[in-house]
Amino acid sequence: MSQDWNQFVGGELGRLKSLNRRRSLRRILARESPLVEFQGRRLVNFSSNDYLGLSQHPAVKERSARAIARAGASASSSRLICGNSDLHEGLEAALARLKGKEAALTFASGFSANLGLLSSLVGPADHIFSDALNHGSIVDGCRLSRATAAVFRHSDLNHLEELLKDCSGPGRRLVVSDSVFSMEGDLADLPGLVSLCRRYECRLMLDEAHATGVLGSRGGGLVEYFQDRGAARPDEIELLMGTLSKALGSFGGFVACSGAVRDYLINKCRPFIFATALPPAVAGAALASLELIRPPSKVRERLLSNMRLMRNRLARNGLGCDQGRTSIFPVVLGSEDRALQVSQQLLDRGFLVAAIRPPSVPPGTSRLRITVTASHSAAQIDELVGCLTEISQQTES
């Protein structure tokens, strides 16, 4: 039996290697945003989701250390046993305020938050409508829910409306979308989604993982971004999921919702009930980050300035990136082999820019996923774009 198992594993790894899709772990020895130490070299990191550089901010590290000194390295239990603390409750209150919702609940990760929300709030008699480029955690959550799941073409609201019209029979309806799509960097059409949900009596769930801390006048995310323009309100979206591990520089996931939904999740959501609570250090760090993004926020101002600079530099050099409202700038190269080659050439020149390949993106769209942060200097951005332009011209000739 073990030999059969090893043959299966070896065969699958060989198949992935032949497709240039086999992955391995990179050992990062030191981080000093935006620099990392890898294989004995200091590289400028353009692959991090630490958009505001807050994981390295002195105030965030100090608050995290203070939480450990007071409460230890672990919560030591699930929230429902003896793991709940004032840190967790204070963090959830702050997240609810940021998102303009009545309540919030934290999870061990953003992935488990999506699994828990979808599997506990919808079931076999219900219907989910999911954007084709939603995060894998949403895909798995839809499967785990056992609801009837329909996938609409990416950001195609006409296709979504066709699916909603064709949906008949009893059961609740839930539309689910990323707010910022992690591999594209584009925004969901939130006003359009809200309009369709209202017309067809659906609920709406939004994954704000890559929007929280980045978009909106206070860093509240995509909902706030459109609210600032008079085009959306928090009460129009029942479930706002997010993470603490990206712009907030910590770890964990959360949902902002009504008080009744929070109470329901505490009683019915298995990834919450059966998971150890967030460590005190993580909660303390996230609380400090939430304070640092309040207006006027110097780190957010630096990020927005760098986003504009990256967009302008890429456009000026003809690298085909037509968005600049988020921190994510995809440069689509096509094949897995070309994406790996360009990524390695950038590594040789001192830049860490990961090659993204299927199944993270559709076949034929392998790319570099460049992420800009508040920690990057204008000179680093200029040098990266210059190197990328030169490499692209060489590989095309």
| Catalytic center residues | 182, 210, 246
Cα distance between residue 335 and residue 318, in whole Å: 19
Angle between helices 58-71 and 280-292 (to 10 degrees): 150
Question: Would you call the peptide bond into 34 cis, given omega within 30 degrees of 0 as the criterion?
Answer: yes
Q: How many residues does the chain have?
A: 397
Cα distance between residue 327 and residue 126, in whole Å: 35
* DSSP secondary structure string for all residues of 269-325: -HHHHTSBPPPHHHHHHHHHHHHHTSSS-HHHHHHHHHHHHHHHHHHHTT------S
HSE, side-chain direction, 13 A CA sphere, residue 392? 17
From the CB of residue 294, how many other CB atoms can be counted at a distance below 10 Å? 11
β-bridge pairing 239-243 and 203-207 = parallel
Helix, strand, coil percentages for the chain (3-state, nearest 5): 45, 20, 35
Residue position matching structure tokens 């934290």? 106
Cα distance between residue 61 and residue 311, in whole Å: 31
Residue position matching structure tokens 């584009």? 186
Check residue 188 and report its DSSP letter.
P
Cα distance between residue 162 and residue 156, in whole Å: 10
Calculate ∠ Cα 132-225-137, nearest 5°.
30
Cα distance between residue 314 and residue 338, in whole Å: 19
Q: Which two tokens stand for residue 60?
A: 């965030």
Cα distance between residue 205 and residue 176, in whole Å: 5
Cα distance between residue 65 and residue 282, in whole Å: 10
- How many DSSP H helices and E strands does the chain contain? 14, 14
Cα distance between residue 98 and residue 261, in whole Å: 18
